[in-house]
């Protein structure tokens, strides 16, 4: 049986009825056409909202782009930057990803920057080198403007496949990322993303260096999204 996904309005209505989870910050990032609807409907709810992408340009003739100041004016608290789909399908480089993150911080929006390796890079033993290079390039490009920075490790081979990394693999990569952050290690939250579900979210969030999760398909229904929030609440209270 094929079941249709709930409409945006159904999702937002469901979110408004949810209770806050102690110690949990829940943020949803809808596509750009729905940002103002999310801003209106989620007002007063336990869910914050942000954007899926942002332009590295602030102004000028860039038809179709969404600038950081536009997101800020709409009320976004966060924006996802450098998601693997943007890197792979649209060819975004580490330099461009850093430029986007810098625009976000300049507008007072938290950039959630994604890093991660391909399956072939992991098989060849290059996963750590690839992720380290992405983190290093980001820090160079931010030029010290790291306020609000968040990082998400999303192994590209795990996204949308139903095959998540093991908690041990996630912990090892998160430890590497913290080591590359240097003096920022204690202040930058690290999230894991890649086939996260209500069944495995708690395993990831119980590991030492994983502060939260970046959820894709598991967020399409409010029931599964808030089941993951429940797992986060249990970890926060542990």
Q: What is the DSSP string of 49-68?
A: EEES---S-SSSS-TT---H
Whether residue 154 lies in the annotated active site: yes
Q: Provide CB contacts within 8 A for 205, sequence distance 6+.
A: 211, 212, 213, 231, 232, 235
DSSP 159: T
Q: Which of 92, 117, 121, 154 is catalytic?
A: 154
- In angstroms and rounded to an integer, the radius of gyration of the C-alpha atoms of the chain is 17
87, two tokens:
């890197």
Q: Is 130 exposed, middle or buried (0-12, 13-18, 19+ CB in 10 A)?
A: middle
Helix, strand, or coil (residue 49): strand
Whether residue 206 lies in the annotated active site: no
Active site residues: 83, 154
């Amino acid at each position: 049986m094929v079941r249709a996904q709930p409409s945006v309005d159904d999702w937002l209505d469901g979110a408004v009825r949810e209770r806050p989870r102690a110690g949990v910050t829940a943020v949803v990032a809808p596509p750009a056409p729905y940002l103002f609807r999310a801003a209106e409907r989620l007002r007063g709810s336990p869910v914050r909202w942000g954007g899926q992408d942002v332009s590295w340009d602030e102004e000028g003739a860039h038809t179709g782009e969404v600038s950081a100041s536009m997101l800020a004016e709409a009320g976004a608290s966060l924006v996802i930057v450098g998601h693997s789909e943007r890197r792979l399908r649209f060819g975004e480089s580490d330099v461009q990803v850093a430029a986007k993150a810098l625009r976000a911080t300049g507008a007072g929006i938290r950039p959630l920057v994604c890093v991660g390796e391909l399956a072939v890079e992991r098989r060849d033993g290059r996963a750590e080198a690839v992720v380290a290079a992405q983190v290093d390039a980001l820090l160079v490009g931010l030029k010290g403007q790291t306020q609000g920075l968040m990082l998400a490790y999303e192994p590209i081979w795990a996204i949308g496949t139903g095959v998540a990394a093991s908690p041990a693999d996630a912990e090892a990569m998160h430890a590497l990322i913290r080591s590359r952050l240097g003096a920022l290690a204690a202040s930058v939250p690290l999230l894991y993303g890649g086939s996260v579900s209500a069944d495995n979210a708690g395993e990831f969030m119980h590991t030492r260096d994983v502060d939260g999760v970046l959820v894709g398909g598991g967020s399409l229904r409010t029931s599964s999204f808030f089941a993951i929030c429940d797992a986060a609440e249990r970890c926060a209270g542990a």
